[in-house]
A and B are shown apart, each in its own frame.
Chain A
Amino acid sequence: MNFKPLVAGAALALGLATSATAQDDPLKVGFVYVGPVGDYGWSYEHNEGRLAVEEAFGDSVETTFVESVPEGADAERVMTQMALSGHDLIFTTSFGYMDATVAVAEKFPDVKFEHATGYKRADNVSTYSARFYEGRAVIGHIAGKMTESNVVGYIASFPIPEVVRGINSAYLHAKKVNPDVEFRVVWVYTWFDPAKEADAAQALIDQGADILMQHTDSTAPMTIAEEKGILAFGQASDMINFGPNSQLTSIIDNWAPYYVARTQAVMDGTWESTDTWDGIEPGMVAFAAMSDKIPADVRAEAEQMIEDIKSGAYHPFTGPINKQDGSAWLGDGETADDGTLAGMNFYIEGLTGEIPN
C-alpha cells in the first residue's frame, strides 16, 4: 500500500494553508461536491477545476471543498457554514443543490454563489452549465459512420432533460450519416454503480451493439468495451487508460476556464449574476484525442463539425426535426431555443422505446 503520495499531498496542502495565512487576505473559494472527488467522473472533474484555480492564483486564493454532500438539508448546512467562515465565492456543483443555494444566498448577500446546471438565479447567484449535447453531436456523427452492426448501445442514467438531450443529439447526427442506425438505450437509474454499468454494457454488446456511449460516471463501460474488442466513447474524463484500443474520443467536462474566470471576476470586483451555458467554443466541453481508428475522412468531418459549432455556423439541433410521434418540432433551418433544450423531455423521430416517467 502506498501512503507516500497521500502524506506528500497532505503536506503540500498544509504548506499552502500556512502560506495562505501569511498572505494578507486571500480570496476564499469553496466547492461543494455531490460525490467523492475520487469518483473519476463528475465530482472529480469539478475538483480538477478547483485545482486549476489554485494553480492560476497561487497564494492569492485559498480553496476549500466538502465532498459527498447529500442534497437537501446537509447541503444547506455546509453552504451556510462555508459562508459563515468567510468564503467569498462558493461553487455548488450539483443540480439538487439549487434550492439550498438560493436559500443560503439570500442570507449572505455579500457572498457570491455559483450553481451548476440549475435555473434559479439571484443577485448573488449565477448559474452555469455545459452544452454537452454539442459534444454528443460530434460523437453521434462518428458513431453513425463507424458502426458496422448499425446498433449503437447507450447507457443512460436518469431520464432527465440533460440525458434525453444527449441521446437525441447523438442519434440525430448518427442517423444523418447512416439511415439504418439503431440506438438501444438502457436506463440504469444510477449515476454511479460500476458493476451495474458493466452489466449494462455487457447486455448491449450481447445484443449486437458495436459502439457504446455512456451518460454515467464510471469507466466500467469503457473497460468492458475494451475487453470485448468493440468501440466506445468516454464520458466526463479522458478514459484512454481504460480503453486504449476502444476509445474513439471522450467528451470531457472542463470547468477550469470558467472557474478561473469567475474567481478573477470576484477579485476584480466585476462579478455579476449571469447565466452561462457554454459549449465547445469557450472550452467547457472538450474532447480527448481522436483515435487513429477513426478514418481520416470521418475525422475531418468531425473536426469540421467542431469548428462549425464553435463559430456558430452550425447548431446541432437544426430543423427539420420531428418528435418521436411524428409531429413537427423544428421547421426547415429552424434551430432549437435554449428554453426547449433545457427542459427537453421528448425523443426525436426514429428513436424507439419510451422515456420512462
Chain B
Amino acid sequence: MIKLEKRPEPSRHWAYATPLLAVLATMIAGGILFAALGKDPFVAIRTIFWDPLFNDQFAAFSRPQLLVKAGPLILIAIGLSLGFRAGIWNIGAEGQYIVGALCGAGVALAFYPLEEWYVFPLMVLGGALGGWAWAMIPGILRTQFNTNEILVSLLLVYVAEQLMASMALGLMRNPDGGGFPGSRNLGDYPAAYNAEIIAGTGMHWGVVAAFIAVIFAYILLNRHIMGFNIRLTGQAPRAARFSGVKPNRLILFCLGTSGALAGLAGLFEVAGPAGQITIDFNVGYGFTAIIVAFLGRLHPAGILLAGLLMALTYIGGELAQFMLGLPAAAIQAFQGMLLFFLLAGDVLTNYRIRIGRAEVA
C-alpha cells in the first residue's frame, strides 16, 4: 500500500531534485515516442536539449535566441503569478499582449517618421497602458457587476484578435505596402525600434524588463504589504478580509499589473523581434505564460527558470524538425510530457511517500 504523507515543510532537497528527475523522465518517455516514430531517440534528445546551447554550428546564435523567446513568457508569467497567488484568474493575457502591441505600435506609427528620443518611451507607456486598460475590463466588470473574470478575460482574447486583424488591414496598414496587410516595419524606424542593446546577445529592452519584473515581484512578495496581502488572500481569504484587505482593490491591482506587463511584452515584441503588426501577430505567449507561471511554482525565480526551459524546448524543437524530420506534432506532444512530469514531480516536494500498511484512519 503506497501512501502519501504531507510534509510539514516542503522539502528543499526534493524541490531541487524533482525538476531534474522530471527532465530525465521526459527524456526516457520522449525517447520512446521518437523511437516509435523511427528516429534515433538519443540524437533527438540531444538535438532538443543540447544543440541549442552547445552545438558548434549554431549555438552562438541559438543561445541569445533563448532570451528573445523567454523574455515575453517571463514578463507575462510574472504578472499572472501575482493574481494566481490571490486566486484571481486572468486567462486572457494573450488579449492584453495584443492590445499592448497595438497601442505601442499605434504610438510609433502616429509619430512616424519623427526621430526623437521620446518616441520609444512613449511607446512603452502606450503598450503598458493598453494592456492595463484591456485587463481593467474584466477587473471592473468583476468588481462592479460580479462578472466572472475567467470568462471575460478569455473572450476578450478573441475580440482583441479581431481588432488586430482589422487594424492590420485598415488603420495601421502600411501606406507604402502596396495594399498588402500589415503595418510598417518598426525595424526601419530607428526611433521606435527596440534593437538589441548589445548586438548578438539577444538582450533587448523586453528581456531587460523581464529581469526587472522578476526582481520587483520578488521584493513585492517578500518585503511589501501588498505582497503579503496577495499571499494572505490566496491562502486564507477570510483572514485577509478581517485583516483589512480590500478585495476589490486587490483584484484591480492584480489584473491591472498582469495586464500592463502583458501589454509591455506585446509592445517590446512588436517593436523588436516581430517588427510589425500583422493579421496573426500573436503566437500564444499569453497562454504559454500561464503554464510558465505554474511551472515556476508562482515564484519569481522559478518563473525565470521555467521560461528559459520552455524557450529551450521551442528552439530545440525547431532544430529537431529540420535536422531530423520530426513533425511539429511530436514536439508538441513531447512538450506536453515534459510539463506533465514537471507538474507531477511536485508531489515529492510536498509529500513523503510511505510504503506499508495503511494506517487506521
Whether A71 pairs with B322 at a CB distance below 8 angstroms is no
List the one stretch of A9-17, A143-151, A213-221 in contact with chain B: A9-17
Whether A67 pairs with B283 at a CB distance below 8 angstroms is no
Whether A7 pairs with B38 at a CB distance below 8 angstroms is yes
* Residues of A contacting B276 in the complex (Cβ-Cβ under 8 angstroms): 72, 99
CA distance A36 to B332 in the complex (A): 12
> Who on chain A is nearest to B272 by CB?
A73
List the one stretch of B121-129, B180-188, B292-300, B333-341 in contact with chain A: B180-188
Whether A161 pairs with B187 at a CB distance below 8 angstroms is no
Contact check: which of B173, B275, B328 meets A36 at CB < 8 Å?
B328
Whether A36 pairs with B278 at a CB distance below 8 angstroms is no
Whether B38 pairs with A14 at a CB distance below 8 angstroms is yes
Whether A80 pairs with B61 at a CB distance below 8 angstroms is yes
Whether B315 pairs with A67 at a CB distance below 8 angstroms is no
List the one stretch of A81-89, A223-231, A237-245, A312-320 in contact with chain B: A81-89
Whether A81 pairs with B58 at a CB distance below 8 angstroms is yes
Within 8 A of B (CB), among A69-126: 69-74, 76-78, 80-82, 84-86, 95-96, 99, 103, 119
CA distance A35 to B278 in the complex (A): 16
Chain A's nearest CB lies how many Å from the CB of B285?
10
Whether A72 pairs with B169 at a CB distance below 8 angstroms is no
Whether B180 pairs with A76 at a CB distance below 8 angstroms is no
Whether B65 pairs with A77 at a CB distance below 8 angstroms is yes
> Who on chain B is nearest to A87 by CB?
B322
CA distance A113 to B26 in the complex (A): 36
CA distance A210 to B37 in the complex (A): 45
CA distance A30 to B323 in the complex (A): 10
Whether B318 pairs with A65 at a CB distance below 8 angstroms is no
> Who on chain A is nearest to B284 by CB?
A70
CA distance A339 to B169 in the complex (A): 19
* Residues of B contacting A52 in the complex (Cβ-Cβ under 8 angstroms): none
Whether B58 pairs with A119 at a CB distance below 8 angstroms is no
Within 8 A of B (CB), among A30-89: 30, 36-37, 64-74, 76-78, 80-82, 84-86
Whether A99 pairs with B283 at a CB distance below 8 angstroms is no
* Residues of B contacting A86 in the complex (Cβ-Cβ under 8 angstroms): 57
A159 lies within 8 A of chain B by Cβ: yes
> Who on chain B is nearest to A190 by CB?
B165
Whether B36 pairs with A72 at a CB distance below 8 angstroms is no
Whether B169 pairs with A85 at a CB distance below 8 angstroms is no
Instruction: Decide yes or no: A65 and B38 within 8 Å by CB, A72-B278, A84-B57 being known contacts.
Output: no
A1 lies within 8 A of chain B by Cβ: no
A266 lies within 8 A of chain B by Cβ: no
> Who on chain B is nearest to A3 by CB?
B36
Within 8 A of A (CB), among B136-175: 162, 165-166, 169-170, 173
Whether B327 pairs with A160 at a CB distance below 8 angstroms is no
> How many residues of chain B get a CB closer than 8 Å to chain A's CBs?
45
Chain B's nearest CB lies how many Å from the CB of A186?
15
Whether A158 pairs with B283 at a CB distance below 8 angstroms is no
> Who on chain A is nearest to B178 by CB?
A343
* Residues of A contacting B275 in the complex (Cβ-Cβ under 8 angstroms): 72, 99
Contact check: which of A67, A85, A343 meets B323 at CB < 8 Å?
A85
A357 lies within 8 A of chain B by Cβ: yes
Whether B322 pairs with A82 at a CB distance below 8 angstroms is yes
CA distance A85 to B315 in the complex (A): 14
> Who on chain B is nearest to A95 by CB?
B180
* Residues of A contacting B272 in the complex (Cβ-Cβ under 8 angstroms): 73
Contact flags B271-287 to A (C-beta < 8 A → 1, else 0) = 01111101111010000
Measured CB to CB, the residues of A under 8 A from B are 3, 6-7, 9-11, 13-14, 17, 30, 36-37, 64-74, 76-78, 80-82, 84-86, 95-96, 99, 103, 119, 158-161, 189, 339, 342-345, 356-357
Can you name 20 extra interface pairs (CB under 8 A) apart from A73-B273, A74-B69? A7-B36, A13-B38, A66-B321, A71-B274, A73-B269, A77-B69, A77-B315, A77-B318, A80-B61, A81-B62, A81-B318, A96-B279, A99-B185, A103-B187, A119-B178, A158-B181, A159-B169, A160-B169, A189-B162, A357-B173
Instruction: List 26 contacting pairs A-B, 8 Å CB cutoff, sorted by A.
Output: A7-B37, A14-B39, A30-B322, A64-B325, A65-B321, A68-B328, A71-B274, A72-B276, A72-B281, A73-B269, A73-B274, A77-B69, A77-B315, A78-B322, A84-B58, A85-B58, A86-B57, A96-B278, A103-B187, A160-B179, A161-B179, A339-B178, A342-B179, A343-B178, A343-B179, A344-B179
Measured CB to CB, the residues of B under 8 A from A are 36-39, 57-58, 61-62, 65, 68-69, 162, 165-166, 169-170, 173, 178-182, 185, 187, 269, 272-276, 278-281, 283, 315, 318-319, 321-323, 325, 327-329
10 A-B pairs closest in CB distance: A10-B38, A343-B179, A73-B273, A72-B274, A70-B283, A64-B322, A357-B170, A84-B58, A343-B178, A66-B321
